[in-house]
Amino acid sequence: MSIVVRTLSERVFEIVREQIVTGALPDLLPIRQDALASDLGVSKIPLREALARLEQEGLLTSQPNRGYFVQPMSAAQADEIFELRLALEPRSAAFASTLANEADQAAAYAAFEALDSAANNNLAEVAIRNRAFHTALVRPGGKLLTTQLVERLAVLAERYVVAQLKPAGRDARAHLEHRGLIDAWLARDVPLLTERLTAHIQGTLDDLHAQFRTTMTT
């Protein structure tokens, strides 16, 4: 697939990131930069910029004289990501709901609708919209560092969200849970939102634990 210039390194970043999230790039082999640049129709300069940024985001790791590797998924990393989300996100979203104005509420509902309309056969898009939705619930709190941390954790969680949604029926459950989250958030119902968001994040982690036991390697 050839890329039309937009900000080239940004577009390359998005495409490679999607390949990581969907598992198209294996995590045990070095990324062949010449071949990947050729596939994308770009030079190695924007590709290197994109790979360096993906390493900063925690999706890649680099080794001297060997290049870049996809950071392997693991039960330990899933625990760390989702435990941090549990510690930060429910309370932050609940606080933000009490401060949200009409524009904030409209933006959060639009993010919910975008997530709800994402086709489940494009799980990379679902993961991106899921991140946007969860971040929209926190942003009106006006705490920049908190919002950045929630978004960063959501980026790291995306591969796990894709893995968690693959089994049949999970998308329907996720829809109901997100519907409950936006309803409680718009109603400024702090106890109910805190309870639902905690259960939503913990439920995802519980699903992942079950999948790691059966199909993933730790």
Residues 126 and 143 in one domain: yes
Is 3 part of a structural domain of the chain?
no
Strand intervals (E) in 66-161: 67-70
**Same domain (yes/no): 59, 127:** no
Residue-wise pLDDT for 81-116, tens only, equals 999 999 999 999 999 999 999 999 999 999 999 998
Per-residue pLDDT tens for 129-152?
999 999 999 999 999 999 999 998
User: Is 1 inside a domain boundary?
Assistant: no
Average pLDDT score over residue span 204-209 = 92
Q: What is the pTM of this model?
A: 0.82
Confidence of residue 197 (pLDDT cuts 50, 70, 90): very high
Give the CATH number of the domain where residue 47 resides. Answer: 1.10.10.10
45 and 61, same domain (yes or no)? yes
Measure CA of the first residue to CA of the last residue in the chain; give whole Å. Answer: 33
Q: List Cβ neighbours of 90 (8 Å cut-off, separation of 6 or more).
A: 193, 194, 197, 198, 201
Q: Is the pLDDT of residue 168 over 70?
A: no
Quickly state the pLDDT bin for 194 (edges 50, 70, 90): very high
Tokens of 122: 């494009």
Same domain as 103, residue 203: yes
Point out the domain boundary residue: 70, 100, 115.
70
Cβ-contact 42, 33 below 8 angstroms: no
- CATH number of the domain within which 184 lies: 1.20.120.530
Assigned token pair, 193: 């939102």
Q: State residue 20's pLDDT score.
A: 87
Residue 215: half-sphere exposure toward Cβ, Cα within 13 Å: 8
Instruction: Indicate the burial class of 191 (C-beta count within 10 angstroms; 0-12, 13-18, 19 or more).
Output: exposed
pLDDT value at residue 121? 67
**pLDDT (tens digit per residue) in 16-38:** 988 888 888 888 789 999 999 99
Structural domain for 56, as ranges: 8-70
Interatomic CA distance for residues 154 and 142, integer angstroms: 18
Query: Residue 54: what residue type?
Result: L
118-133: average pLDDT: 83
The tokens for 37 are 């640049």
Q: Distance between alpha carbon 125 and the CA centroid of its chain, in Å?
A: 10
Number of domains present in the structure of the chain: 2
